[in-house]
Amino acid sequence: MDSIIKIGFWEKAFKSLRLALAKVGLAEDEWGYSGFHEDLTKGDTKELVKQIQNCLEMRGGEVSARARATNLGHIYLTLSSLGRKTFLKILATEFRIDSDVIQEKLDGLTKVNDNVSREMWESSLREALIPPRVKLLRQFNELPDGVKFLVDMRGDLLDWSRDDVELGFLEQDLKSLLFSWFDIGFLELEQITWSAPASLLEKLIDYEAVHEIKGWSDIKSRLAPDRRCFAFFHPKMPDEPLIFVWVALVNGMATNIQQLLSGSSSRESSDEVYDTAIFYSISNAQKGLTGINFGNFLIKRVVDKLTHEFSGLKNFSTLSPMPGFLDWLRGRDKDMLELLDSTQIETIKTLGSDEDIGKKFVSYLTNENLFVESKVYEKLRPILTRLSCHYILNAKRPSGTALDSVAHFHLNNGARVEQINWGADISEKGIRQSAGLMVNYRYVLEEIESNHEIYQSGMDINVSSKVKNILGN
């Protein structure tokens, strides 16, 4: 179904080009052969190389080249996964920089003495340093819906480039182009309401990555008068959100996601005076833009917009998951006890024998029935809360930044760790990932820049006294 949709948007490029081609008398059969097998056979690959070369050489002029680029894009969308990988492999290996041409330009540059000639050779060298594959990607960008096409193409590349160095170079080329095209200055912040087109609301349902949206009544609840949804859009992708955030307007710090998502019928008006905005879900909507960070700009822009709309808002915080907590804990069964106090260790020992007690405890946490046994669950509260604090504050990547991806995102944006919330997400996903715990990362406006700098330097993480007390600091 997804491929059908993608092919559908490419048809708009065909339609406009057919008109242009008719004006210059170029027949559609001159665009290039399109009868490729979906997996790209050996014979197909030779023809594909020929078509790419014709496109790059601008044979027949600009209109013809654009037609050929359109045809190549359409071919790519009709291919199977294997065919697309082969297409990209050809682009990566057959259309790289020509080292002989580079050497020729360098030799020429070393022989000139006057400034004018040097400038000409330098310009020629810069042009030669652009791989032909990049020039083709730029041609795709100029087509209707070409930007979305390239974003999706990089989404494909991200899967394949991990195990293929040559595809990795192509992925980096495309990332560099997208990075410049998706500069924050080009993006538009829009509030999404219940009156938005159904097609856009459906995309929010599909792209939601944190808390599943279960249907139309669910999304209507999330767009109630005391709720907000904001998204970044690109002018070349007006119908596609790049990243979006869900906000709950409340009084006091929200500590439970079930309450925020409950869809209470009492929420009828936005006239109430709220003092807190809770960012409870942020989702990147385009896989192909992975690594191009919009989130920090999104939060800052949303905070600015909300403070203008609600003068009483004083607190800005998240209610965030800890997606890697239990996985981290399972890997620490041998030294986990070192992170606990004597009382907590004795509590764990009641669950099994002294031998391999850490391993026994971690295994115990995988018991699906554990979290419906309320007495046992509550008994574990101080233990898991303390361990989660260690995870957020002390579990690090080789770079020195927080191991938890969500923690890293907010700490890097200048937030502080405000509090750990017990039983905050008792959904199947919340239990599986973090034993039901969630974190409030608070954005104190006057501290954001200093928090960011301190975190980036590897010196410290700003933590509230409430969290420090959990660790006994």
Indicate whether 26 pLDDT > 80: no
Q: Do 337 and 303 belong to one domain? A: no
Could you write out the three-class secondary structure of 266-301?
A: CCCCCCCCCCEEEEEEEEECCHHHCCCCCHHHHHHH
Clarify whether residues 274 and 363 are in a common domain: no
Whether residue 158 sits in one domain with residue 57: yes
The domain spanning residue 34 has which CATH number? 1.20.140.90
Cβ(325)–Cβ(388) below 8 Å: yes
* Residue 3 CA from chain centroid, whole number: 21
First CA to last CA distance, the chain:
55
Is residue 237 located within the same domain as residue 163? no
Domain boundary among 318, 337, 352: 318
Domain count, the chain: 3
Most confident of 68-72, 202-206, 273-277: 202-206
Q: Are residues 56 and 149 in the same domain?
A: yes
pLDDT at 102: 83
pLDDT of residue 12: 56
Please give the DSSP secondary-structure letter assigned to residue 108. Answer: H
d(CA 383, CA 361): 11
Q: What's the confidence (pLDDT) of residue 67?
A: 84
Q: Do both 213 and 138 map to the same domain?
A: no
Q: What is the pLDDT of residues 430-444, one digit of tens each?
A: 888 888 899 999 999
Question: Residues 430, 431, 433, 439: is their CA dihedral positive or negative?
Answer: positive
Has residue 105 been placed in a domain?
Answer: no
Judgement on whether residues 367 and 465 belong to the same structural domain of the protein: yes
Q: Catalytic residue at 320?
A: yes
Q: What percent of the chain clears pLDDT 70, i.e. is strictly above it?
A: 84
Estimate to the nearest angstrom the gap between the alpha carbon of 10 and the chain centroid: 24
Taking the C-alpha atoms of residue 150 and residue 157, their distance in angstroms, rounded to an integer, is 10
* Beta strand spans in 306-437 (E): 315-318, 416-421
Catalytic option among 161, 281, 317, 320: 320
Per the listing, tokens 């001159």 go with 30
Q: Which of 118, 150, 181 is the last residue of a domain?
A: 181
One-letter amino acid for residue 453 of the chain: E
CATH code, 303 = 3.40.630.180
Report whether pLDDT(249) > 90: yes
108: exposed, middle or buried (C-beta count within 10 Å: 0-12, 13-18, 19+)? Answer: middle
Contact by Cβ (8 Å): 76, 89? no
Residues 157 and 198 in one domain: no
| Highest mean pLDDT of the ranges 109-113, 226-230, 448-452 | 226-230
Is 107 domain-assigned?
no
Q: Is the pLDDT score of 353 beyond 90?
A: no
Q: With cut-offs at 50, 70 and 90, classify the pLDDT of residue 2.
A: very low
CATH of the domain at 346: 3.40.630.150
Choosing from 234, 388, 410, 434, which is the catalytic residue? 410
Are the CB atoms for 234 and 242 separated by under 8 Å?
A: yes
pLDDT band (50, 70, 90) for residue 276: very high
Report the C-alpha gap between 450 and 443 in whole angstroms. Answer: 12
- For residue 63, is it within any domain? yes
| 225 and 167 inside one domain | no
Give 3-state DSSP helix, strand, coil % of the chain, rounded to 5. Answer: 55, 10, 35
The CA-atom distances, in angstroms, between 458 and each of 401, 402, 449, 467 are 7, 10, 15, 19
Q: pLDDT grade, residue 64 (50/70/90)?
A: confident
Task: Give me the DSSP letters along 391-420.
Answer: HHHH-B-TTSSBSSHHHHHHHHTT-EEEEE
Distance separating alpha carbons of residues 201 and 361, to the nearest angstrom: 43
Query: 394 and 279, same structural domain?
Result: no
Angstrom distance (rounded) from CA 14 to CA 74: 9
Find the mean pLDDT for residues 212-235.
94
Using 50, 70 and 90 to split pLDDT, how confident is the model at 270?
A: low
Q: What is the mean pLDDT of residues 26-52?
A: 77
Residues 285 and 350 in one domain: no
* Alpha-carbon span 452 to 236, nearest angstrom: 32
In a domain, 120, yes or no: no
List beta partners, residue 282. Answer: 245
Residue 336 shares a structural domain with residue 264: no
Q: Write down which residue in 140, 164, 181 finishes a domain.
A: 181
The verdict on residue 112 lying in a domain is no
What's the average model confidence in pLDDT over 285-313? 91
Say which amino acid occupies 269: S
**pLDDT higher than threshold 80 for residue 339:** yes
Q: What's the mean per-residue pLDDT of the chain? A: 85
CA dist 48 and 54 (Å) reads 10
Determine the structural domain holding residue 280 and report its residue range: 185-318
- Greater confidence, 406 or 377? 406
Cα separation, 143 vs 151, in Å, equals: 13
Q: With bands split at pLDDT 50, 70 and 90, how would you rate the model's confidence at 362?
A: low
Query: Does the structure show a pLDDT above 90 at 392?
Result: yes
Assigned domain for 307 exists: yes
Domain assignment present for 427: yes
* Residue 223 lies inside a defined structural domain of this protein: yes
Sequence-separated (6 or more) residues with CB below 8 Å from residue 462: 415, 416, 417, 447, 451, 454, 455
Q: Torsion angle of alpha carbons 381, 425, 398, 389, nearest 10°?
A: -30
